[in-house]
């Protein structure tokens, strides 16, 4: 389905782009060329091509999840500039000041 001048104008309006008539015609031609090329690529037989997630075969850089002990509440609050019993105390940021 080719891109029309109306399609270009609608997308330009959505993107808040002010295009001249010449720019609209150029954009229409370029978009239609991209679509033509995509149709050409759709015709390529890829049934024997294995899907891949990366062009280069790399080992996984992600480590395995392992359960490790975390901080106790007292350790987490030790360096807090202000605290209220078991909680961090922070300035009010919502509502009336």
Residue 59 is predicted with a pLDDT of 80
Residue 9 is predicted with a pLDDT of 97
**32, part of any domain:** yes
> What is the tally of structural domains in the chain?
1
**10, part of any domain:** yes
- pLDDT tens digits for 22-78? 999 999 999 999 999 999 999 999 999 888 877 887 787 788 889 999 999 999 999
| Domain carrying residue 30 | 5-42
**23, part of any domain:** yes
DSSP 8-state code for residue 35: H
The β-bridge partners of 87 are 84
**18, part of any domain:** yes
Using CB atoms within 10 A of its CB, is residue 8 exposed (0-12), middle (13-18) or buried (19+)?
buried
The β-bridge partners of 84 are 87
pLDDT at 80 over 80: yes
**28, part of any domain:** yes
pTM of the model: 0.51
**16, part of any domain:** yes
**20, part of any domain:** yes
Using CB atoms within 10 A of its CB, is residue 22 exposed (0-12), middle (13-18) or buried (19+)?
exposed
Residue 55 is predicted with a pLDDT of 80
Alpha helical stretches, state H, the chain: 5-14, 21-42, 73-77
CATH number, domain with residue 10: 1.10.20
H, E, C per residue of 55-80: CCCCCCCCCCCCCCCCCCHHHHHCCC
pLDDT at 15 over 90: yes
**34, part of any domain:** yes
């Amino acid at each position: 389905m080719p891109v029309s001048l109306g399609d270009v104008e609608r997308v330009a309006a959505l993107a808040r782009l002010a295009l001249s008539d010449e720019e609209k015609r150029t954009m229409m031609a370029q978009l239609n060329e991209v679509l033509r090329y995509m149709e050409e690529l759709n015709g390529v037989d890829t049934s024997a091509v294995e899907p891949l997630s990366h062009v280069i075969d790399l080992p996984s850089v992600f480590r395995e999840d392992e359960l490790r002990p975390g901080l106790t509440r007292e350790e987490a609050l030790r360096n807090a500039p202000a605290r209220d019993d078991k909680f961090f105390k922070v300035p009010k940021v919502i509502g009336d000041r």
